Structure 1
Amino acid sequence: MPGPGDDPFERTHSGSLQQMFDKECDHQWIIDLYEKFTGKPLTRRKQGSTRIIARWWPRDPKGKMIRDVQAGKETPNSTHLWGQTLLDFFRFQRWPDQPHVMTTSTSSRLSRWMMENGESEHSKDDMEWAAREEEPKLKPGADMMEIIYARDLMVMMGLSGESMIPDNQDEQIKKSPVLPFDYSNYPDPWPLIPFSSKPPNLQSHIPFHLLPETLIVHDPFELLRGNARCRDLDDAWTSVEDIVHKYRLNLTVDSIRQTIDAERAKITEAAESAEPIMIGVLTKADSEFPPEVSSEISGIAYKLTVPPPPPPQKSTPEAHLYISPAQAIGRGNHSYVYRAEWDVPRSVFSNPKICTTCVTEAAVNILQVMNEKSEKAPLDLTPGTFIRLEKRTSRLTFSFVADATAPIDKDKQHTLEEATTLSYAEFTGPISTLHVDTVPWYDSASTDPPPCPHLWQEFVSGPLPGPVPPTTKVSVAAKLSMPGDAHLEREAINYQHFGSQFSQNWTGYTLAYPIQNPTPMNAITPVFYGYYSKEKSADASDSEYYSPILLLEDCGEQIDPEELDFDDRQECGALLLRLHYHGWTQGSYASRNILVQRGDPGDFPLMKSQQDRRFRLIDFGRAKSLKKAKEADLKRGDEKNTEADAWDLQRFNEKSEIGNVLCFEFPT
């Protein structure tokens, strides 16, 4: 018998689940199931495919034939089949009386069909499971300001970077505000010699309206002339005189320009109609808060409001880029790629913050003064949040099969039961609004320290020992073109047509046919950071060639298919199939155009795991759009699908190459 403090589910199911699948615990769906119910990690032994679909959806023996399954949850870069976990993918029978004819769908799609066609009673537990599935969530990159502050601390401690200012030069640190890129006024030890430190790899999106409009390119080795420099020469940055060029942001796709205009108009409108915002609640309950059991709570409460934050910036006028032959990371038939240092204003990554602790203290002081004037007893107010949770007890049954290719045997099911009781608290007293306007907003990009110690506690690095410059360097990939080649311009246009959705990371999994197993919902392409062309000067000769620059996220190194396990190979194949699903061909599908990086983009650099592999497709100079092909056919007016058929042939050929490129038997 379990003791009074034991969790009966923990005792009866967690251990048995581990034992039940001890021989197969390399399957990812088992790991998801075990961790969901126990909250404990399950040791993963990765042998073969681990992302199988192992659940089946029961049908009414007299039910209708399922012709079209209604739309379910999905993301902008998934296929139509998305699930929060592998347990949200199901095999099911389109014809209830033909158990050997199976197809695949997801819990959100199947539950909707069952609800609309009267079969919800035959799959109560699976319907309950589907109701609990969370919506897809966008996974942002790690907080760049946190990373920047940590790097600032290393620079100040002399552990990263080499200062341009000689050690024997006694230059006083200036405390006055400085404009971005006024390097002569930067605090010691900045500015740093380019490539003497290792700036963090930028993996966060920058909104299109904040991409720097002017790019000052430092190219002392003349790489912009379109020729790779011989590495036998001295490529130390201090060995040559700096050469500077001015480049302009070149965004030509109408939808991107419209997005920029709309976002800037939105900022202007929001600033003109800004109203106070609520940041928290003060409560004085007549009983314990929160309660141990479900109940109503009375007392008094105040919603705390503060003035709106300062409006965000509408544009980034300028940034600097440094390129060096020592940082070459790739060379193709049409381009060179370098790991570049990008010096941008810190404001690109910052968001204004306000100290909730200071706001709470100020609110309490205001109330105490009001209370003293009314000669009432002192108030004992505490910060709180009103919680209301539904009270519910549930039972869940899981039916699954070990072999995803075998016919369903309904006698071989495993059932797990979970009983969950949630209590609730509902505040019934009066709620007033208290406005606090004495606490300032703080911009984390400011060169000044925060106005209070509480905000420093939110940063990993803690207080910095000195001032910081208004800009920061990050690492990006700079792609340059060879003379007379138009691939780079076409690739830049394609990235603009992709928008931001192809480079987003989402929670969950997706299924990309004909691959039979779900793959993680990671990004398909690198993040696009702009396309820049050299500004013509009055004395420049038309015969002088200077390459345009395509700035992208640095996504690692090219894969070696022989070193990848089966899951990884399927994931790499799914990247191309997802691209096809959204109406694009890649044009050059080869292992050299698939990159792998270690660690999740959402993790702090020191926390990145070498076990986390993230893959991306690159090189879209030959990519083709089905939408463009159909528009070309329509414009021609001969009622033939010449361009669309050519696109589909290219898609078919690319899909056929997946098995050869990735060295595994691919289902066509």
Structure 2
Amino acid sequence: MSEPSLKPDKRHDEWKAKQQAEAHKNAEQLKAKFSSLSVDELDRRPVRTIQDYLDWIALEHARNTTPPAVGPDATPEEKAADNERRLIAPTTKHRTISQVWPRDPNGKLIAPGETDGGKMLPNGIDIWGATLFDFYSCNRFPDIGTIIVYTSGSRLAGWMKRNGELLAVDQLGQAEREADPVEILPWPVAESFKDVDNRAIMFSHGIGGAKTVEFGIGEPFQEMVHCPRLQERIPFHLLPKTLIVHDRYACLSAGRDEFHDAEEKWDEKPDIVSVYRLELSEEGMKKVNAENEAIEAKKRQDEAALAAFLANPTAENRPLGRGVLCVPPGLKHGPCPPATFFLHEPAPVREPFEEAHLYLSPNHIAGQGNHSFAFNAHWEIPRNMVVDDIICKSCVVMTGMAMVIEEDGWNGESKSPKWKELSGQIIEKVEVFGGVSASVYTERGEDKLDENGEAVTYEIEAPSEKRTRKYQGPIRVVHTGVKYQNREDGPLCEHLRKSREQWASLTGRVSVVAKLSYQYDSHLEKEAKNYQEFPTHFFQHWSGYNLMRPLHEPFPVGALVPQFYGYYVPDDEIPPKDFYRKDGPLAAPGDAGREESGSSSVEYRYRSPILLIENCGTPVCATVDEMNIDDRQEIATLFFRLHHAGWCHNSAYTRNVLRQLGPINDFPLARMCNANNRSDMRQTSFRLIDFGRSEKDKDGSGIAYEEGKVCKTFRVGMYEDRPPGWDGSD
């Protein structure tokens, strides 16, 4: 039998030619429209804000999901009220891909997999953009508008440059200006400690008197004493090795019948103290070793950089974070004498911590499940664990200037001639950015009018002018010998004592979640091992947005799981003991003011291991039906990101998703204010919890099943049009 011959289809060629002609016609109409617009005409248009532009995009995308309820003849007030209704509707998407990357009609096919090489995060998801304006829809075939790729500007720009397609000048420029990914760090608990110290000053508790680390000063769980949440990552090698657990109500038994609500004040009952030890898995120990190796590698790198700098001391190769560069004021652009670099000592490496204390109360239960209890606990830690040592730049400059005066003389009479030569250079630059604005047109070049029937301009980025002044060339190095300061090492210098850097105590209490397991249940131990096996990017917050299947909209990239603060098991060699507060003249603050009874008033039939994790808020189960589509999609992407890394949660329920006010890097009071914003402008942080059943999925079958379950549970993907309360039965 002869093989069938493949002949060209005449109808297809005719259709393709028609499509190309239409594309060329539209392109020419757009060019004609743009060339006919004068600057004066554009300047006369009303200028709207970037938020107005985002609102307009959301309303355009919501014409089917949240259609207008008023007609074109409605009053401006009625239209504005209807727009507000549509913008806050839970069916309206605000994270959409609205930008279009135009193609050269003579361009090549963008084949699948050819847009590799764009900006990425450590999570390995291919597509990342700094803003919603950095995502594009683009025709794979220049002349076929029905086959589209959704991707980032950095990936498209790379493909276009490699293939010589440079038609989209504005889009290429936007890709060049796009910011790089940045890790977003939570609001530092060190700043919250400053507020605690200010209250101590306000209530005349004194400040700066403590000379050694003293635990147990003040009662835990006081309503008038703020206990900030710890949300920063603690490296594995810095986790305290010993945990002293204060358990006045036998919470460690992890049984509701074993303890009752606390009615007395904390100090009115004996303090039942248990000693726990940090237990790390094999994966946890690998991370400890990797962290220590990274510290040693950085130390060698810093030493090499310093040696290279001292061999050729110039401003260009000076080591960052090792000194203060001083350029004489008043110098103009052009040649100048060498600047002076006051070198200080390096920041000390933080050493592992031996001890921390944990306080449990039955009045602060965070949750109860089939396998465990979770408590909102107070964790008292050495402040050095979360507060960096400080370099006083005033001390550095004053010490350095004194050394220069001693060597050069008060008026520079003995100054070396080489420090007077005009061997340096002051460089002043002015960078002018014209800004970015947008006007909206149809494919045929016709203006898309706003709700008032006007053609408007949206200001995306305002024009700006940036002036920089920097020194280049040789520098004079002065070894000041000034060291970093730490309150534990003694009093701070007078400059820091006048600032907010002074401490009321050498320890600090933070709020964490302590998870306890029922007896004979292994879920907690497995969960702790999973936390130690999770990759680092599970715990990181990143700027920008990712885009991944099965969804078609960008989503924020916060941490996936709570921070891990250790898994602790009872030290069976040290039995629990009672401690009482001393009375009379022998009384003292903290542990020094307690006396041991020698035994415990409670006989534990069982003491649970303790998993310490970050407090990430409350479950979404009571609010998921009222959530908008953006939040539901963001929650679903937590599971999808878990799947992308090869993990299956195996308990994909609403109770295992937590929410808290955001943004995570903002001051707590600012987060509360953020909660009052319009629903689509609120920033909420979501996190997955409960990994006692989670495991690596070897063949992908579990992930495939769970992906479908997540889409149904949170009404996303093919189920996003289902009504609230839908149970997935149809």
TM-score, normalization: structure 1? 0.78
2:218 maps to a residue whose letter is P
In 2, Cα distance between the equivalents of 1:662 and 1:213?
A: 49
Residue 562, structure 1, aligned to residue 625, structure 2: yes
Residue 242, structure 1, aligned to residue 286, structure 2: no
- The structure 2 residue matched to 1:545, chosen from 603, 606, 620, is 606
Structure 1's 109 and 561: CA in aligned 2 closer, same or farther, altered over 3 A? same
In 2, Cα distance between the equivalents of 1:363 and 1:105?
A: 53
Q: What SS class does the counterpart of residue 515 from structure 2 fall into?
A: strand
Residue 571, structure 1, aligned to residue 644, structure 2: no
Q: Is the 8 A contact 1:286 1:299 kept in 2?
A: no
Q: Is the 8 A contact 2:358 2:380 kept in 1?
A: yes
Structure 1's 286 and 231: CA in aligned 2 closer, same or farther, altered over 3 A? closer
Q: Is the 8 A contact 2:197 2:504 kept in 1?
A: yes
Q: What SS class does the counterpart of residue 100 from structure 1 fall into?
A: strand
Q: What SS class does the counterpart of residue 600 from structure 1 fall into?
A: coil
In 2, Cα distance between the equivalents of 1:147 and 1:244?
A: 28
Q: Which residue of 2 aligns with 1:150?
A: 195
1:401-550 superposed matches below 5 A = 425=469, 427=471, 430-437=474-481, 439-443=482-486, 445-446=487-488, 448-453=490-495, 456-457=498-499, 462=500, 468-537=504-573, 544-550=605-611
Deviation at 1:200, TM superposition (A): 0.4
**Structure 1 gap ranges (5+):** 1-7, 31-42, 164-171, 184-189, 289-295, 403-407, 630-642
Deviation at 1:335, TM superposition (A): 1.0
Deviation at 1:270, TM superposition (A): 6.0
2:234 maps to a residue whose letter is I
1:617 maps to a residue whose letter is L
Aligned residues: 589
2:179 maps to a residue whose letter is E
Deviation at 1:244, TM superposition (A): 1.4
Task: Using the TM superposition, name which of 446-455 and 487-496 deviates more.
Answer: 446-455
Q: Is the 8 A contact 1:297 1:426 kept in 2?
A: no
Q: Which residue of 1 aligns with 2:75?
A: none
Q: What SS class does the counterpart of residue 244 from structure 1 fall into?
A: strand
In 1, Cα distance between the equivalents of 2:147 and 2:44?
A: 33
Structure 1's 389 and 155: CA in aligned 2 closer, same or farther, altered over 3 A? same
Q: Is the 8 A contact 2:651 2:693 kept in 1?
A: yes
1:54-133 superposed matches below 5 A = 54-67=98-111, 68=113, 69-77=115-123, 79-119=125-165, 121-133=166-178
Q: Is the 8 A contact 2:240 2:354 kept in 1?
A: yes
- After superposition, the CA RMSD in angstroms is 4.0
Q: What SS class does the counterpart of residue 353 from structure 1 fall into?
A: coil
1:187-206 superposed matches below 5 A = 190-195=217-222, 197-206=225-234
Deviation at 1:396, TM superposition (A): 5.7
- Cα offsets for 1:290-314 (capped at 9, x unmatched): xxxxxx4221232423232352223
Structure 1's 214 and 661: CA in aligned 2 closer, same or farther, altered over 3 A? farther
Deviation at 1:426, TM superposition (A): 6.1
Structure 1's 180 and 29: CA in aligned 2 closer, same or farther, altered over 3 A? farther
- Cα offsets for 1:536-591 (capped at 9, x unmatched): 22779x99422111111111111211332222222212222222222222211122
Task: Using the TM superposition, name which of 366-375 and 524-533 deviates more.
Answer: 366-375
Deviation at 1:219, TM superposition (A): 1.3
TM-score, normalization: structure 2? 0.71
Q: Is the 8 A contact 1:28 1:86 kept in 2?
A: no
Q: Which residue of 2 aligns with 1:605?
A: 668
- Cα offsets for 1:204-239 (capped at 9, x unmatched): 111111111111111121111120256566364334
Q: Is the 8 A contact 2:425 2:472 kept in 1?
A: no
Task: Using the TM superposition, name which of 270-279 and 592-601 deviates more.
Answer: 270-279
Q: Is the 8 A contact 1:302 1:434 kept in 2?
A: no
In 2, Cα distance between the equivalents of 1:303 and 1:618?
A: 53
Deviation at 1:157, TM superposition (A): 2.9
- Cα offsets for 1:593-636 (capped at 9, x unmatched): 1111123221222332342321111111122213xx2xxxxxxx
Residue 375, structure 1, aligned to residue 413, structure 2: yes
Deviation at 1:104, TM superposition (A): 0.5
- Cα offsets for 1:23-42 (capped at 9, x unmatched): 94584999xxxxxxxxxxxx
Q: Which residue of 1 aligns with 2:644?
A: 581
In 2, Cα distance between the equivalents of 1:90 and 1:174?
A: 56
In 1, Cα distance between the equivalents of 2:552 and 2:470?
A: 47
Structure 1's 29 and 158: CA in aligned 2 closer, same or farther, altered over 3 A? farther
**Structure 2 gap ranges (5+):** 1-38, 62-83, 311-318, 449-455, 577-602, 676-682
Q: Which residue of 2 aligns with 1:217?
A: 245
Q: What SS class does the counterpart of residue 659 from structure 1 fall into?
A: coil
Q: What SS class does the counterpart of residue 298 from structure 1 fall into?
A: strand
Structure 1's 525 and 409: CA in aligned 2 closer, same or farther, altered over 3 A? farther
Q: Which residue of 1 aligns with 2:254?
A: 226
Q: What SS class does the counterpart of residue 511 from structure 2 fall into?
A: strand
Task: Using the TM superposition, name which of 132-141 and 652-661 deviates more.
Answer: 652-661
Query: Which of the pair has more CA radius of gyration?
Result: 2
Q: Is the 8 A contact 1:346 1:472 kept in 2?
A: yes
Structure 1's 28 and 154: CA in aligned 2 closer, same or farther, altered over 3 A? farther
- Cα offsets for 1:401-429 (capped at 9, x unmatched): 89xxxxx6666689889876666656466
Structure 1's 99 and 252: CA in aligned 2 closer, same or farther, altered over 3 A? same
In 1, Cα distance between the equivalents of 2:411 and 2:50?
A: 68
- Cα offsets for 1:422-475 (capped at 9, x unmatched): 6665646653222222x44212x5375430225744xxxx376xx622211100
Task: Using the TM superposition, name which of 304-313 and 591-600 deviates more.
Answer: 304-313
Q: Is the 8 A contact 1:301 1:432 kept in 2?
A: yes
- Cα offsets for 1:254-305 (capped at 9, x unmatched): 3x322312333454576688559542222236743xxxxxxx4221232423
Deviation at 1:56, TM superposition (A): 0.7
Q: Which residue of 2 aligns with 1:659?
A: 715
Percent identity between matched residues is 30
Deviation at 1:322, TM superposition (A): 0.7
In 1, Cα distance between the equivalents of 2:515 and 2:524?
A: 8
In 1, Cα distance between the equivalents of 2:51 and 2:509?
A: 52
Q: What SS class does the counterpart of residue 525 from structure 1 fall into?
A: coil
Q: Is the 8 A contact 1:575 1:616 kept in 2?
A: yes
- Cα offsets for 1:313-344 (capped at 9, x unmatched): 23111111111100001111111110000001
Q: Is the 8 A contact 1:76 1:501 kept in 2?
A: yes
In 2, Cα distance between the equivalents of 1:299 and 1:249?
A: 58
1:268-279 superposed matches below 5 A = 274=303, 278-279=322-323
- Cα offsets for 1:498-531 (capped at 9, x unmatched): 1332121111112232222212222221111111
- Cα offsets for 1:361-385 (capped at 9, x unmatched): 33333333414475279999xxx99
Structure 1's 415 and 24: CA in aligned 2 closer, same or farther, altered over 3 A? closer
Structure 1's 577 and 410: CA in aligned 2 closer, same or farther, altered over 3 A? farther
Q: What SS class does the counterpart of residue 607 from structure 1 fall into?
A: helix
